[in-house]
Amino acid sequence: MDGENIMLDSGMASDFDDDFAPFVYENDPTLPEDRYLDRELSWLAFNQRVLELAEDPDVPILERANFLAIFASNLDEFFMVRVAGLKRRILTGLAVPTNVGRAPLDVLADVSDKAHELQARHARAYQDSVKPTLADAGIEIVSWESLDDADRVQMREIFSRRIFPVLMPLAVDPAHPFPYISGLSLNLSVRVRHPKTGKEQFARLKVPQMLPRFMRIDQRESVDQMRFIMLEDLIANHLGDLFPGMEVLDHHIFRVTRNEDVEVDEDETENLLQALEKELLRRRFGPPIRLEVTDDMDEVTLGLLVRELDVSEQEVYRLPAPLDLGGLFDLSKIDRPDLHYPTHVPTTAAALMAREPNAKPDVFAAVARRDVLLHHPYESFATSVQAFLEQAAADPNVLAIKQTLYRTSGDSPIVEALIDAAESGKQVLALVEIKARFDEQNNISWARKLEKAGVHVVYGLVGLKTHCKLALVIRNEPGGLRHYSHIGTGNYNPKTSRVYEDLGLLTADDQVGKDLTRLFNELSGYAIEKKFKRLLVAPLHLRKGLLKRIQVETQNAQEGLPSGIRIKLNSIVDEAIIDALYRASNAGVTVDLWVRGICGLRPGVPGLSENIRVRSILGRYLEHSRIFSFVNNGDPQVYIGSADMMHRNLDRRVETLVRLTDPGQIRELDALVDQAFDENVSAWSLDSDGVWSRHSKDEAGHPLVDLQNRLMQQITHRPRTGSRR
């Protein structure tokens, strides 16, 4: 999995998104009070599942290193957003109870205990398993002490030429106040002594983030035999060059995590873009919420850091070196195919292939024939969604393109297609969500570039994030104007499309096109549209629509009619949805939940949820699609879209689900969920106490089926002509 700006999309949100949503759920007194699982601890359980992949000896070793990096990156974001939110609520007195009715102070204590446990386990996985296994495979991470004289000469030369010039030692004394420590930076604390006066002093040295974390030793070694030294180790062994004439007494590594949430009062600002840019500057100076130090740090140095950074004992994490294993992202990219997952090349969706040999594929002609359901990354994003938008930009018959952009890549062909379309005279509307967390600056840059090209850029509705994944093309055809639509579960990002599992619908259905036209008018203008034919749209009626469908299943079960609910999503916390599923279970409805991350529902509780099963699947691809399927007395109602069952998705975001109508597509998604719940497929199961248990081997100790590998094989070997649907 590519580590560049790609995390396991952990579903973070500020607690103001969650706790002050306009929807107020009236508690169901007929259900037990302890029926929910804590969302913060459930998220940590998700990251523990990531860690279990890093610990798994059956996973290729460079992929294990990558999972260690993903765990570290995920946890950083958890602290910057969720832990920061808990602290802010405690400090400001806005101590609204959490989703399980507990005080934030108590939850913060539990989160801290679990985070300490997981970070220690993470460090052990690296030291005791991943690092030695890498060495066995010919990739050694060595210390300065282990280098021979020739190696040291080489590395001293590298230090002098490439590292020393960019280092900036900062003294701390009456003339030099304690320096600002930027969030997530790696730092050396250094104690030095003046040889004449004997006075001891403290200095801080930042490890440059623009340099490789793992420095290659002896470039002449083959790709099968590589040695690396960590950048901070190399710097630490050349401190004499940085403090000439001083006696270097000691040094230690530390790292600070800060509150990096961003808040903009949209009702009080005239220019959202400028207000957000100011907030992004303030983000750098958020208060510290975690201090990581190496476990050999002396008490004097630690005391200085704790005092100057104003952190509590609970916020200090003592860990063995190295800190910040997110640096393993770089190491995991080493070109050793034998140490990675087998290469899987996405295939072009059968329905989008040219019908005649040597003919050029025509996305519009294919979609005009019938709806096309796409499944990435098994099916190529480049030859489907990207090709759809590029063809639209180049087609003289296309009059207008409307699209939402939540997150996209830094070198985006999607954005370039929109620019080309605008420059060729087409009407182009881009709804750029500049509040997409940690992508704000990228999206601001893209918004300005689009505006300069003549694209109509809007930022959505005040108070709401636009999270839906929509594209609408208006094309002039012999019979009149025709709508071509794409509704997806994932972002218009070619880079993440290779590692995120997502679904998308390409359709020329006139009703979907009219629905999207009205929705885009609402997003860009002042329309208030409350009725759609094939869409469920948040925040107005997505929750209500799903509750209605769950209630239908409940009534059908009570009347002895066919019923069943199957949902695949990233996270489920919303109390109204969970309680509706509990009532459905009590009525006899079988409920299957395929949840990647947070799950606030307790399955398998007698008298409450004995008909509910919860599974989770993690692997080389990030399970990111959302499916909502209802048996409906034999007339299945199946939706895909962008929404999770979280307060923020249902109340504070514009989200869209589209109902599928093609029986073949409905059967395909049903078969997909069947496989996820197959006892021969490797997965985690959730029990009523909130404990996830991994089932990865059969009784004989043989590995169970990897669902993602199976799907890749199934889709790769589909017939190469015609449509499967």
For residue 372, pLDDT beyond 80 = yes
d(CA 625, CA 517): 24
Q: List the one residue out of 613, 499, 569 whose CA is nearest residue 11.
A: 569
- Residue of higher predicted confidence among 400 and 462: 400
Single pTM value for the model: 0.90
Summarised one tens digit per residue, pLDDT across range 18-40 is 433 456 777 888 999 999 999 99
Distances (CA, A) of 253 to 184, 235, 316, 701: 12, 11, 13, 42
Q: Quick one: which of 356, 410, 278 has its CA closest to 721? A: 356
At residue 272, the pLDDT reads 45
Single-letter code of the amino acid located at 368: A
DSSP-derived letter for residue 320 is: P
- When pLDDT is averaged across residues 490-508 and rounded to a whole number, the result is 94
Residue 71 has pLDDT above 90, yes or no: yes
Spell out the residues 6+ positions from residue 253 whose beta carbon is closer than 8 angstroms to its own. 186, 187, 188, 189, 232, 293, 294, 321, 322, 323
Per-residue pLDDT, 723: 42
Q: Which of 42-46, 218-222, 591-595, 701-705 has the lowest mean pLDDT?
A: 218-222
CA Rg, the chain, in Å? Answer: 27
551/97: higher pLDDT:
551
C-alpha 255: how far from chain center: 23
Note the pLDDT of residue 451: 83
End-to-end CA separation in angstroms for the chain: 30
Check if 467 is active-site. Answer: yes
C-alpha distances out from residue 392 to 352, 361, 395, 401, 724, Å = 15, 13, 5, 8, 24
Closest CA to 418 of 445, 450, 396: 450
Q: What phi and psi values does residue 658 have, to the nearest 5 degrees?
A: -115, 140
Predicted pLDDT of residue 716: 86
**pLDDT of the residue at 439:** 55
Tell me: the pLDDT tens digits for 401-428? 999 887 765 568 888 999 999 999 999 9
What residue spans define the domains of the chain? 61-339, 350-531, 537-716
| 124 vs 287 pLDDT, higher one | 124
| Alpha carbon distance 157, 215 (integer Å) | 12
Domains 61-339 and 537-716 share a fold: no
Pairwise CA distance, residues 677 & 665, whole Å:
19
Q: Which residue has the tokens 């396991």?
A: 8
Residue 334's CB is within 10 A of a number of other CB atoms, namely 18
Would you state the pLDDT for residue 278? Answer: 55
Extract the tokens encoding 664. Answer: 């073949």
Predicted pLDDT of residue 110: 94
Helix axes 413-423, 440-452, angle to 10 degrees: 20
Between 216 and 446, whose confidence is greater?
216
Report the pLDDT value the prediction gives residue 688, as an integer from 0 to 100. Answer: 94
Q: What is the tens place of the pLDDT at every residue in 254-283?
A: 999 998 765 544 344 445 445 444 554 555
Q: By mean pLDDT, which of 23-27, 394-398, 587-591 is the weakest?
A: 23-27
Q: Mind listing the pLDDT tens digit for each residue in 227-257?
A: 999 999 999 999 999 998 888 999 999 999 9
Q: Which amino acid is at 15?
A: D
Find how far residue 33's CA is from the centre of its chain: 31
pLDDT at position 487, please?
97
Compute the average pLDDT of residues 449-455: 84
Q: Among all chains, which residue has been given the structure tokens 């009784």?
A: 699
Percent of the chain with pLDDT over 90: 67
**pLDDT value, residue 214:** 95
CA neighbours closer than 13 Å in the CB half-sphere of residue 355: 10
Multiple choice CATH, 537-716, 1.10.3300.10, 3.30.870.10, 3.40.140.10, 1.10.3210.10 = 3.30.870.10
Q: What is the pLDDT of residue 447?
A: 74
CA gap 110, 108 in Å, rounded = 5
What percent of the chain is modeled with pLDDT above 70? Answer: 87
Q: Is 689 exposed, middle or buried (0-12, 13-18, 19+ CB in 10 A)?
A: exposed
Position 438 scores a pLDDT of 53
> Any idea which of 307-321, 432-446, 702-716 has the lowest mean pLDDT?
432-446
**pLDDT at residue 408, as a whole number:** 66
Handedness of CA 394, 426, 470, 277 (dihedral sign): positive
Segment 722-725 long-range contacts (CB within 8 Å, at least 24 positions apart): 722/350, 722/351, 723/350, 723/351, 723/366, 723/369, 723/370, 723/372, 724/350, 724/351, 724/664, 724/668, 725/351, 725/370, 725/371, 725/372, 725/373, 725/662, 725/664, 725/665, 725/668
Q: Is the pLDDT of residue 437 over 60?
A: no
CATH number belonging to the domain at 61-339, selected among 3.30.1840.10, 3.40.50.1470, 3.30.450.90, 3.40.50.620: 3.30.1840.10
Section 74-91 average pLDDT:
88
Angle at 340 between CA 209 and CA 322, to 5 degrees: 35
Q: Which residue has the higher pLDDT, 649 or 448?
A: 649
CATH numeric code, 350-531: 3.30.870.10
Tell me which residue has tokens 């290779």. 498
Average pLDDT along the chain:
88
Q: What is the pLDDT of residues 667-689, one digit of tens each?
A: 999 999 999 999 999 999 999 99
Whole-Å CA distances, 709 to 62, 377, 494, 706:
18, 11, 21, 5
Q: Which of 122, 252, 344, 467 is catalytic?
A: 467
Q: Tokens 């689009």 correspond to what residue?
A: 450
Q: Does residue 495 surpass a pLDDT of 50?
A: yes
pLDDT digits (tens, 9 = 90+) for 123-174: 999 999 999 999 999 999 999 999 999 999 999 999 999 999 999 988 887 6
- CA 648/CA 646 separation, integer angstroms: 5
d(CA 309, CA 328) in angstroms, rounded, equals 27
For 252, the token pair is: 């230690």
Task: Answer whether 473's CB lies under 8 Å from 487's CB.
Answer: no
